[in-house]
Amino acid sequence: MKARIARLKLMIFDVDGVLTDGRIIFQDGDIEHKAFDVKDGHGIKLLLGAGIEAAIITGRSSQVVNRRAADLGIRRVYQKVHNKVEALGDIVRATGIEEAELGYMGDDLIDIPVLRRVGFAVAVADASPHIFPYAHYRTQARGGHGACREVCELILQVQGRWNAVTERYFGRDSD
């Protein structure tokens, strides 16, 4: 698994069930609410700060996702995607990054085709059990509750970038 993580150049995240706990709240007037974990968001910012790109591929469409992506600095956002492998192909073509250098984090059946293609496939702890055989790593944390942060920290630690991106928090004298 460490060799897979060492090659990683871009991490792709699903939204519902990964960046959120999977609940969607609708309000009158077609207003949609999603709750995002700030620790997950900071993990993504740490990845970006280390030079590892991030992207979103989600089956639903929501302005909330666009706003969250903008807040985090995620430029590649694919929404209302029915075939996630096609979006994966778009990312490969746009970035020149090979599938083996991509990671994907998912939680449900629609994610299996992408999990099968990327170099580092991740399932959140509370994912559909049907996707676990396709994951190289299963988080301890649930989707929307620190799972993304867990994976971001793992990537940074395996790639030896953790100390550099967290130095401003710990100072120069820390281990």
Task: Note the CATH architecture for domain 2-170.
Answer: 3-Layer(aba) Sandwich (3.40)
Distance CA 72, CA 54 (A): 10
Structure tokens at 126: 């509370």
Residue-level pLDDT at 172: 60
Residue-level pLDDT at 49: 97
Residue-level pLDDT at 28: 80
- What angle do helix axes 63-72 and 38-49 make, rounded to 10 degrees? 50
Convert the pLDDT of each residue in 25-62 to its tens digit.
888 877 888 999 999 999 999 999 999 999 999 999 99
- Element spanning 91, H or E: helix 84-95
The residue ranges of the chain whose pLDDT is under 50 are 174
Domain positions in the chain are 2-170
Residue-level pLDDT at 113: 98
Residue-level pLDDT at 149: 99
Strands (E), 17-161: 25-27, 31-33, 53-57, 76-78, 102-106, 120-123, 137-138
